[in-house]
């Protein structure tokens, strides 16, 4: 009984860590949102200041014999951007916030579904990848996971961009080494989706 309790405690600890990461992301997103709002305020001020400088420059051109104030305004506003295309617009900032919110939602969904999968004895919840997409071949049950084929395991690794040198190694290693590598890949994928591979070992070939 104690080994099972130990495993359950380990899984609970992993969930607590994930929850902590989600809270950190929430704080980071809130901080980023506040910074974006501040940037929007400063952007509006910059536009207003620039309009005032342009008006002074135009008046300097129309007032014959009067000194051109643009030289003074350059000193007052040395960093003003004069081309509209160089402005960071509110739309750009809003797009950044939307993108950050989307990434946060994906991480939050992954955390929730991992916690569900780690307690499941049958059905599995599919996790989104970094783009928010779902694998069409994601194992639907624990049994499907345990019997996953090599090809499907490769596909899942590629889909979730867990990839890598391991896949290239399969072309050069011996069959015995490949089996060990495949076992490691299965364990990594199981852990990624929230399943304990020591309780649900790979039965595939």
**How does DSSP assign 107-155, residue by residue?**
HHHHHHHHHHHHH-SSB-PPPB-TTS-B-TT---BHHHHHT--HHHHHH
Q: What pLDDT is attached to residue 18?
A: 67
Per the listing, tokens 């071949």 go with 137
Residue 141, beta-bridge partner list: 123
Q: What pLDDT is attached to residue 87?
A: 55
CA distance 111 to 17: 10
**Six-digit token pair at 8?**
């359950």
Cα angle: 49, vertex 86, 67; to 5 degrees: 40
User: Does residue 80 have a pLDDT over 50?
Assistant: no
pTM of the model: 0.57
CA distance 129 to 58: 54
CA distance 20 to 149: 34
pLDDT tens per residue across span 136-176: 999 999 999 999 998 899 889 889 988 655 566 665 667 77
pLDDT tens per residue across span 19-72: 666 676 666 666 666 666 666 666 666 666 666 565 665 666 555 444 555 445
Q: Which residue has the higher pLDDT, 185 or 124?
A: 124
For residue 75, count other CB atoms closer than 10 A to its CB: 7
pLDDT tens per residue across span 97-151: 777 777 888 888 898 999 999 999 999 999 999 889 999 999 999 999 999 998 8
User: Does residue 82 have a pLDDT over 50?
Assistant: no
Helix 175-193 vs helix 90-119: angle between axes, to the nearest 10 degrees?
110
Per-domain boundaries in the chain? 2-110, 122-193
């Amino acid at each position: 009984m104690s080994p099972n309790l130990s495993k359950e405690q380990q899984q609970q600890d992993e969930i607590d860590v994930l929850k902590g990461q989600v809270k950190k992301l929430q704080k980071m997103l809130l901080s980023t949102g506040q910074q974006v709002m501040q940037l929007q305020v400063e952007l509006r001020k910059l536009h207003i200041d620039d309009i005032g400088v342009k008006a002074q420059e135009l008046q300097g051109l129309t007032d014959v014999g009067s000194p051109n104030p643009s030289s003074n305004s350059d000193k007052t506003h040395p960093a003003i951007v004069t081309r509209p295309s160089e402005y960071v617009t509110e739309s750009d900032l809003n797009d950044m916030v939307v993108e950050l919110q989307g990434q946060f939602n994906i991480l939050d969904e992954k955390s929730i579904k991992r916690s569900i999968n780690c307690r499941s004895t049958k059905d599995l919840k599919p996790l989104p990848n970094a783009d928010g997409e779902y694998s069409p071949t994601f194992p639907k049950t624990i049994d499907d996971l345990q019997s996953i084929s090599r090809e499907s395991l490769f596909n899942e690794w590629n889909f979730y961009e867990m990839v890598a040198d391991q896949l290239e190694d399969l072309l050069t290693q011996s069959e015995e080494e490949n089996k060990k590598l495949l076992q490691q890949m299965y364990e990594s994928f199981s852990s990624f989706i929230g399943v304990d591979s020591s309780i649900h070992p790979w039965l595939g070939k």
